Structures are given as C-alpha cells and as structure tokens.
Structure 1
Amino acid sequence: MSDPNFYLLMAAAALAGLAMLTLAALNGWRGWLQLKHQQMAQDHLATTPAGPSAGARIEIADLKERIRKLEAIAAGVDL
C-alpha cells in the first residue's frame, strides 16, 4: 500500500467524485432558483390589477373637474 500511484489514483477518484457532486448540486440550485423566479412572476401577474380603461380615466378626470368647480362655487371664487 505504499505505492504512490495508488494514492494518486485515490486522490483523483475522490476529486472526480467531488466534482460530480458539486455539479449536481449546482444544477439543482439553478433549477430551484428558476422555479422560484417562475413562481414570483406568476404571483406578480396574478396580483397586478389591470389598469383602468381610457374611458374610465376620462370619466374620472371629468368628475374631478366637476368637484373642483363645485368647491370653487361653494368657496365663492369666480372661475
């Protein structure tokens, strides 16, 4: 067992095994990160409300303008 080739072969095998385990763990980590990214994107799409339509925005702006006019009338300011 004092053969230097035996120790060199064992070290190379251990290094190869460690490299395989490291690559497998790295692949699993990347897959988990991709899964979490997809889940976050899906949750973001599900919780993001659709913006109001153009007609609704125009109507809201019209109502705000009416409120401003009524408040000015109530305060006695001439427009």
Structure 2
Amino acid sequence: MFEPTMIIAGASLVGLTIVAAALLRGWYGWLALKRQELERHYTGTEERDTGSSIGAARIELADLKERIKKLEAIASGVDL
C-alpha cells in the first residue's frame, strides 16, 4: 500500500511547503518594514539631528590643520 519511497516523497513535499510558506511570510514582513521606512522618510516623521553641520565641519577642519602642522614639524625635524 504505502511504499517507503512514497512516504519520504510526501514528507519532503510537506516540509518544502512549510519552508516555502515561512520564507514567503518573512518576505512579506520585510517588504512591510521597508514600506514603513519609506513612508517615515517621505512624511518627515523620522528623528533628525538638530545640530549645525557647519560647526562640526569647522571642528574637523581645525583638527586637520593641527595634524598638518604636526606632520610638517616631524618632516622638518622639529620635536613637539
């Protein structure tokens, strides 16, 4: 009546169906998450930095100038 090959094939088919359903559900969840991220981005409800980027740029520029001075001093042989 039931051969072992038929039982294994049926169990494999059921297992494959379960795995495919779980992956499909995960895919739909991921798409929903990305859709929410896009909506949040376009509606402007995402939290943003309120600080000035100009101040950060000035600090970074000053840091780079300091490094250049140190490198020039090392190249000329002056010990800091």
Q: Report the TM-score when normalising by structure 2.
A: 0.52
Question: Equivalent residue for 1:6?
Answer: 4
- Equivalent runs, 1:1-79 vs 2, <5 Å: 5-46=3-44
Rg larger in structure: 1
Letter in 1 for 2:14: A
RMSD: 1.9
CA distance in 1 between partners of 2:3 and 2:17 (Å): 21
CA apart distance, 1:4:
6.1
Aligned residues: 45
Identity percentage over the alignment? 36
